[in-house]
Amino acid sequence: MESTLGMGDECELPATASVWLTDDPQPGLVLVELTDANGRPHQLVDKSAIFGSDLLPTSTYPRPTAIRCTIEDINGEIATVSVHWVFSRVTDMPFTFDVRLDTLGPVAAG
């Protein structure tokens, strides 16, 4: 099935919420993990409300979630996506990485 997503589109990338870290600051911090198209693991930590599913301190972990991102480029089956709320410490630019285009989904309504 061909993707209907294109450059500039916001989308959701499936990921795994691995552990609830702390209740402070509200609404609490969660560690989320994913593997990019090159097999490199990435870990993101942010407030639970940032991610695409209901994450609570009482939830069972690990559990599926999603990371909202923007498609910056498409090269065949690989999409370069950016996460605008995570900035590189080196370049001070949004964090970008490559993922398989077929793993991306439209932003969930709600």
Q: What is the pLDDT of residue 52?
A: 67
Residue 27 included in any domain: yes
Name the CA dihedral angle for 56, 63, 30, 81, rounded to a multiple of 10 degrees. -130
pLDDT lower than 70: segments of the chain: 1-3, 52-53, 86-93, 109-110
Half-sphere exposure of 65 (CA within 13 A, CB side): 30
Please indicate, yes or no, if residue 74 is contained in any of the structural domains: yes
Instruction: Decide if 33 is inside a domain.
Output: yes
d(CA 107, CA 16): 17
**How many domains is the chain built from?**
1
Which residue range forms the structural domain that includes residue 65?
A: 10-106
Residue 82 within any structural domain of the chain: yes
In a domain, 1, yes or no: no
Does residue 2 lie in a domain region?
no
Domain presence at residue 60: yes
pTM: 0.85
d(CA 69, CA 98): 11
Contact 48, 65 (CB under 8 A): no
Look at residue 4 and tell me if it is in a domain: no
